[in-house]
Amino acid sequence: MKNIILLGIVFIFTNASFSQGKIKIIDFDSKQPIPFVTVILDDYNGVYSDENGEIDRSFLITEKISLTCMGYDNLEISVKDILDNKIFLKQNTTLLNEVVLTNKENKFKTKKFDEIKHNDFMEGHMLIIGGEISCFIDNSFSKENVQIRNIRIPVVTKTISFSKEDENKRQLVKKLEFTSKFKLSFYNNDNGRPGEPIYVQKNIIFNLSQEKNVFVVNLIDYDIYLPNNGLFVGITNLGPVDEHDKFIQSEPFEMKEINGKKIKIVKPTKPFFPVIKEVKRINTFYKFSFDNEGKWESFYKNGKKKEAEVHNIGIGYELDVYE
125 and 258 share a domain?
yes
Last residue of a domain, one of 66, 96, 126: 96
Whole-model pTM? 0.86
Do 155 and 200 meet the contact criterion of CB atoms below 8 Å apart? no
CA–CA gap between residue 119 and residue 117 (Å, rounded): 7
Residue 146: inside a domain: yes
Q: Count how many domains the chain has.
A: 2
Signed CA dihedral, 249, 252, 255, 259: sign only: positive
Q: What is the mean pLDDT of residues 46-74?
A: 94
* pLDDT of residue 6 exceeding 90: no
Look at residue 173 in the predicted model and tell me its pLDDT. Answer: 55
DSSP category for residue 56 = E
Identify the helix (H) or strand (E) that includes residue 284. Answer: strand 284-288
71 and 154 share a domain?
no
CA–CA gap between residue 247 and residue 239 (Å, rounded): 7
Mean pLDDT value across the chain:
85
206 and 272 share a domain?
yes
DSSP annotation string for 57-108: GGG--SSEEEEE-TTB--EEEEGGG-BTTEEEE-B-HHHHT------TTS-E
Residue 67: band (very low, low, confident or very high) from pLDDT cuts 50, 70, 90? very high
Range of the domain at 11: 2-96
| 115 vs 166, residue with greater confidence | 115
Residue 174: band (very low, low, confident or very high) from pLDDT cuts 50, 70, 90? low
178 and 252 share a domain?
yes
Residue 300: inside a domain: yes
* pLDDT of residue 164 exceeding 80: no
83 and 118 share a domain?
no
CA–CA gap between residue 322 and residue 47 (Å, rounded): 41
Residue 58: inside a domain: yes
Q: How many CA atoms lie within 13 A of 105 on its CB side?
A: 0
Last residue of a domain, one of 64, 96, 128: 96
Look at residue 89 in the predicted model and tell me its pLDDT. Answer: 98
Look at residue 167 in the predicted model and tell me its pLDDT. Answer: 53
259 and 148 share a domain?
yes
Do 319 and 109 meet the contact criterion of CB atoms below 8 Å apart? no
CA–CA gap between residue 197 and residue 232 (Å, rounded): 9
Q: What is the mean pLDDT of residues 140-148?
A: 88
Residue 225: inside a domain: yes
Annotate 176-219 with three-state secondary structure.
CCCEEEEEEEEEEEECCEEEEECCCCCCEEEEEECCCCEEEEEC
Last residue of a domain, one of 61, 96, 131: 96
Residue 251: inside a domain: yes
Lowest mean pLDDT among 66-75, 109-118, 196-205, 271-280: 271-280
* pLDDT of residue 283 exceeding 50: yes
CA–CA gap between residue 111 and residue 122 (Å, rounded): 32
CA–CA gap between residue 44 and residue 40 (Å, rounded): 7
* pLDDT of residue 8 exceeding 60: no
State percent of the chain over pLDDT 90. 57
25 and 112 share a domain?
no
Residue 127: band (very low, low, confident or very high) from pLDDT cuts 50, 70, 90? very high
Q: What is the mean pLDDT of residues 269-289?
A: 89
112 and 174 share a domain?
yes
Residue 194: inside a domain: yes
Residue 263: inside a domain: yes
Residue 102: inside a domain: no
CATH number, domain of 64, equals 2.60.40.1120
